[in-house]
A and B are shown apart, each in its own frame.
Chain A
């Protein structure tokens, strides 16, 4: 217990002040995301995102021992909520909210199943590093593209098909019909943030300074022209929402057809959350040097998501963008994540009126910076040094924009598995004189390749004897064994396995002076 507490309090060589600064930055970064994800994507009131960013983040910080982990609202999960519930009830209405809470609880329970049944949880490990990095870069680009309309004071396009085309249209609409006041605010925020991040002392303050500059300029515009003229949207005042808002998922008899219809959506929501958590934890394990079993993440997500529906919060899962930010800011402990939740609670409770004046274009500019932060050129370069990895990386990067995040996970994982299977199915087989050397696996997939060479050698009239050397084979499946048994019946064939070492065990004297001729003869006879 004491060890756990001390590990919790350990700051990993960082000062408490810097951890709290990271917490404050995360609170400021998560705030616009929480509001935007819940209102524009999930079709739920903004307090759903805020409570998730407070209680979801706090519970995952308490339950997950990873230093660099930030839960909270997630764009793709929020989008899944919107898409799943759109046919069920009108958005923002009581029926919709009731069904949404049921959907979150079902997703939490499905995640518990993944925790309880180990092989199910193990399936999540098939998200390889190029798949995860492809997704992360894809989401980074997606977040930048998705922020264009709000950056220019325009409504977000919620059309789901052909994301890249829609992004291009949004970009053109920014150029053609964007609100110039909003564009100015966004640009000031962007420039101040980028410039501040160039100075080591100000690096971690960059986002806060950018928001501050954007807000001050927006206030100046409002004082000079009036809000009716500038028409720049501001964040809503959320202080009346309170600490918690208790709620109950809908399980009424008359709502059963609707609840049954949202079960596939609940499975998608649960899997999306877990995939992201596992992939993000694996990535951070490598970057931060701390190893935390991904099952801790599954446990934290599942438990949190079973509780959050009762306090009106969106489901939580790992956030690639905020975790990238934590890593870039060199987080040393879980204090940063936990303090971000508490800072946000304080901000919402005591500074709601001030948050309300933050202009939406400034928030969009910050989301762009966070999105750009997720694209790490050194990772991409490493993947492009190996062709199969480059294909898997590119496929999952493009799939984010074509099939969505879930499609990207499926597509990338299938490609990675296909590549591994392809490698196994093409063992290194060669014929040196009358010796057929097999390196790799003998299994149903590789047998056709091995057999073709074996038959060629067997039919070659030059060889009176054929030696099949499977010393470098590390796996033989039952079909492979049956084939070897068949081969053994061929009088022309002799098997050789140089790993057994029976000749040396049989004659200990020979080992002193190195291999003798007798040894070699024995080995050949094997």
Chain B
């Protein structure tokens, strides 16, 4: 085949380039329209969200008065109401917190803004840490201390982060959740995924009558520092024993979570589906967060039964289980941790099975 003359080849290259640009532009226009369409369509709520938003009286209108506060005998001042569009954003935000992986959705990609694209494992959902769909309450119906309440966190938005010292807007704080706690990737700050969760968090603050700039007990974690214990030091072996006794029945003997019929019942605390090394849940990164979470929120239904030292020991043990490397640790550390996550659980399982057989044999004799 004879090659094209230089002028023609150049024209062909240019035509291809402009054709590609035009094609991408057409694709962008189509994707924008699809997104606008999703924004307009009615939201199918998860059962928990339907219950919560109904209890809090979310509806479009000129004013909003929290039915939750009214039910508790308080009469807060009416706040500016929500438009239809606002209501849909809040509903979508609630769905994302309750079911990030879209296990309860018929079309997860459309109903959850493709959120699984930003999460690496198949377990993590916001609700695992931000329990009660970001608004955990005690049996008496009051917000629980140290329960990572999203409403209380929203009213402290744009605060200096105590660990990094950076002025951290609410949206950027959510990104850290995606990168570390979900061991995933950073959505764009302008992504609807972030905006809808922000809308939901704002609504929770209004529903619970939380005031901007205030610090509430349910915000963040009620941290368990070493000084709040008898300072015996954190004990890995004791942590392992406590884990077996208190946690393993739900999270599995190696903390790999419990999945029934493809649905996550209890999330992984170790392995590829768990939080990564640079998550604040990692004891060796920040030693007060995970014990604080355990003490206030675990075991489910028996909250507050563990001592501070117990929580620290369990946190210490859990954080030493194999898990993914953090974002800034580099590809070699990531590779090594992947290897550990694949190799260690079967090895430990084999050793424990062997030991079990050995001890049962001895006792039989």
Contact = CB atoms under 8 A, between A and B. Distances in A.
Interface centre among B18, B27, B331 (most CB of A within 10 A): B331
A175 B328 contact: no
A165 B31 CA distance: 20
How would you classify the secondary structure of chain A's contact residues: helix, strand, loop or mixed? helix
Interface in A342-394: none
Contacts of A288: none
Nearest to A183: B28
B135 to A, nearest CB: 28
How would you classify the secondary structure of chain B's contact residues: helix, strand, loop or mixed? helix
Nearest to A93: B165
B355 interface: no
B188 A154 contact: yes
A242 interface: no
A183 B25 contact: yes
Given A90-B167, A159-B185, A169-B117, A177 B328 contact: no
Given A90-B165, A159-B327, A187-B25, A165 B188 contact: no
A16 B331 CA distance: 49
A170 interface: yes
A467 interface: no
Contact of A187 (B21, B167, B190): B21
Contacts of B35: 176-177
B188 A149 contact: yes
B234 to A, nearest CB: 23
A520 to B, nearest CB: 55
A83 B327 CA distance: 12
Given A90-B166, A161-B334, A166 B28 contact: no
Contact of B328 (A149, A161, A180): A161
Contacts of B32: 175-178, 180
Interface stretch (A190-198, A273-281, A481-489): A190-198
Given A89-B165, A176-B32, A187-B21, A166 B14 contact: no
Nearest to A404: B330
B222 interface: no
A238 to B, nearest CB: 23
A402 interface: yes
A205 interface: no
Give the interface size class of chain A.
Answer: 35 or more
B60 interface: no
Nearest to A195: B14
Interface in A140-157: 149, 154-155, 157
B28 A191 contact: no
Contacts of B166: 90-91
Contacts of B330: 161, 403
Nearest to A171: B24
B357 interface: no
Given A89-B165, A90-B164, A177-B188, A159 B179 contact: yes
Contacts of A155: 188-190
B179 to A, nearest CB: 6
A86 B43 CA distance: 41
Contacts of B27: 175
Given A169-B117, A190-B21, A177 B191 contact: yes
Contacts of B165: 89-90
A174 interface: yes
Interface string B329-361: 011001000000000000000000000000000
B164 A161 contact: no
Contacts of A524: none
Given A169-B117, A177-B35, A187-B21, A159 B28 contact: no
B265 interface: no
Given A89-B165, A161-B334, A178-B28, A154 B190 contact: yes
B192 interface: yes
Nearest to A89: B165
B70 interface: no
B186 interface: yes
A160 B328 contact: yes
B327 A161 contact: yes
Contacts of B142: none
A83 B328 contact: yes
Contacts of B17: 194
A247 interface: no
Contacts of A237: none
A132 B31 CA distance: 39
Contacts of A403: 330-331
A261 interface: no
A147 B27 CA distance: 19
A160 B327 contact: yes
A482 B54 CA distance: 90
Interface of B: 10, 14, 17-18, 21, 24-25, 27-29, 31-32, 35, 117-118, 160, 164-167, 179, 185-192, 327-328, 330-331, 334
16 contacts: A86-B164, A90-B160, A149-B188, A155-B188, A161-B327, A161-B331, A162-B185, A169-B188, A172-B117, A173-B190, A176-B32, A177-B32, A177-B35, A183-B28, A198-B14, A403-B330
9 closest Cβ contacts across the A-B interface? Answer: A173-B188, A90-B165, A175-B31, A161-B327, A159-B186, A175-B28, A176-B31, A155-B189, A90-B166
Interface of A: 83, 86-87, 89-91, 149, 154-155, 157-162, 165-166, 169-170, 172-178, 180, 183, 187, 190-191, 194, 198, 402-403
Given A161-B330, A169-B185, A169-B188, 10 more contacts: A83-B328, A89-B165, A90-B164, A91-B166, A160-B328, A169-B186, A172-B117, A175-B31, A178-B28, A402-B331
